[in-house]
Amino acid sequence: MDDNFQEAKIYILEESTKDKPIDPSTTKKRYITLFFACLICVGSYFCYHNPAALEKKLKSKLNMTSVEYNLLYSVYSFPNLIFPIIGGVIMDKFGARPLVFLSTILVTAGQAIFAFGVSVGSFPLALLGRGVFGCGGENLDLGQSFIDIAWFEGRELSMAFGLGSAISMLGIVFNDNTEPVIADKFNVDTGLWFGFLICIGSLIAALIVIVIDRRREKLLGIKKKSERPESEKFKFKDIKEFDKTYWILLINCITSETSVYCFEYIASGFFQDRFGFSSVEAGFIMSTTFFIAALSSPIIGFITDKFGKRMIFLISSGLFSTLFHISFMIIPDTNKPIYPLFFMLLLGLSYSIYNTVYWAALTYIVDSKLIGTAMGTSYVVSNLGLILIPPLIGYVQDTTHLYKGYFWVSFCLALLGFLGVLSGIWVHLIDMKNGKVLHSADPVKARNQWKLLPSNKSSVFVDIVN
């Protein structure tokens, strides 16, 4: 009788699973999705850095001051004081696909307006194009991340994130090395319209991902988008629950990003004016930052996952950035030296460490239900820094003359790097007194052990340093 019961049980199980479709995300088809998902942001990253690769030619074509040139980056960041929140609402109500589609349309349209504005010599129209471009840029990153989560959650998600980030940064490298060549051989307008074609390619990749993802949901019988976890929803009321560790780490975010990006914005002119490089040579040198970051990010991620010590890494990121800018302060102008290429390795390592460690560290210092709010606030505040600092750097460059205006620019950027060091040390000291969560190779275990201590049983983790 027992044998008959077991046979009946097996038969029922077989019948219940016979017609159940296989989730494509559990098969090798997920790698096809990943391939196209990795291409979604290439156009955005490529075109975001178009002005940096064509700095001097753009200034000449549009008769821009350094302040006006830096506004091309500030106006990109301005919409992202609110658009990450709007993107979150779209994600909540409609899912990742509409966000990806809308964002790629805005990025492509923005690049077209920018290229047209430069072609007709209109600075206001070029500025408008960069603003429209910015409305889609950050949310495109967000949408790509949630596509990756849908297909790789629970299996190889870190690999998917790392590969997407690396390929996106290679888009920057491609821009830095191709745009100056195109502008030299043809003109700056052609270079920007080439960027538009790259955006079209990313738009096609996005449409392919949307079709594949929709077919997966139809195959699995998903009638409507599931409610996202509470941890992924941005809520203003939760901001007051963040402890001082979070806000100090946010200072580290602002200083790290601005000390790297504000140099990259002016790097082409910097190397041409100070060291006599051509625009093509300057583009090659400045591209090494993100080339090094693309290569080293997966390695740094593996090391921090295995050994911890996250704040030590973030402190070293600020230190590398500070040393980079100080090096250019003490080196005199000369003709085509070799050492700038080696200095760029410092900046590449600085950005690689920050980009790999910061976002992971963020998830360990806030309560799990506040992660979405924490990341949304970080996006907004970091973009605020990228609105305010670039025009200031442009003003310093226009109003000072030592090293062709770049000495005090390097000083300001070195100061930002040093603030990154100080904020990192501050967070590290707090962490060492409160469970060594960020220092641990297993931060989740360390956080749980800290919460179980008798003195902490009555409080949640977000209150530990208040």
Check whether 63 has a pLDDT greater than 80. yes
Quick: pLDDT tens for 126-138: 999 999 999 888 8
Q: Which residues of 119-144 are buried (b: 16+ CB within 10 A; e: fewer)?
A: beeebebbbbbbbbbbbbbbbbbbbb
| From 157-171, 206-220, 342-356, the region with the lowest mean pLDDT | 157-171
Give the C-alpha distances (Å, rounded to integers) separating 245 from 248, 423, 432, 445. Answer: 5, 10, 12, 19
Task: Measure the CA–CA gap between 394 and 359, rounded to whole angstroms.
Answer: 29
Q: What pLDDT, on the 0 to 100 scale, is given for residue 4?
A: 56
Q: Residue 451 and residue 448: Cα distance in Å, rounded?
A: 5
Nearest CA to 130 among 245, 50, 35, 248? 50
Choice among 308-312, 447-451, 460-464 with the minimum mean pLDDT: 460-464
3-state helix, strand and coil shares in percent for the chain, rounded to the nearest 5: 85, 0, 15
Q: Note the pLDDT of residue 56.
A: 84
Radius of gyration of the chain (CA): 24
Q: Which domains does the chain have, with CATH numbers?
A: 30-220 (1.20.1250.20), 237-466 (1.20.1250.20)
Residue for token digits 């991902």?
A: 209
Which residues lie closer than 8 Å to 149 by C-beta, 6 or more apart? 157
Position 351: which residue type?
Y
pLDDT tens-digit map of 343-373: 999 999 998 888 878 877 777 787 766 666 6
259 φ, ψ to 5°? -70, -25
Q: Taking the CB of residue 66, how many other CB atoms lie within 10 A of it?
A: 23
pLDDT band at 287 (very low <50, low <70, confident <90, very high): confident
Mean pLDDT of the chain: 81
Q: Give residue for tokens 């600085």.
A: 350
Cα 159 to Cα 155: distance, rounded to the nearest angstrom: 9
Secondary structure letter of residue 337 according to DSSP: -
pLDDT band at 257 (very low <50, low <70, confident <90, very high): confident
User: Average pLDDT for residues 278-297, to the nearest whole number?
Assistant: 86
Contact 196, 179 (CB under 8 A): no
Record the tokens describing residue 63, joined without a space: 């008769």
pLDDT value, residue 107 = 95
Cβ pair 47, 175 in contact under 8 A = yes
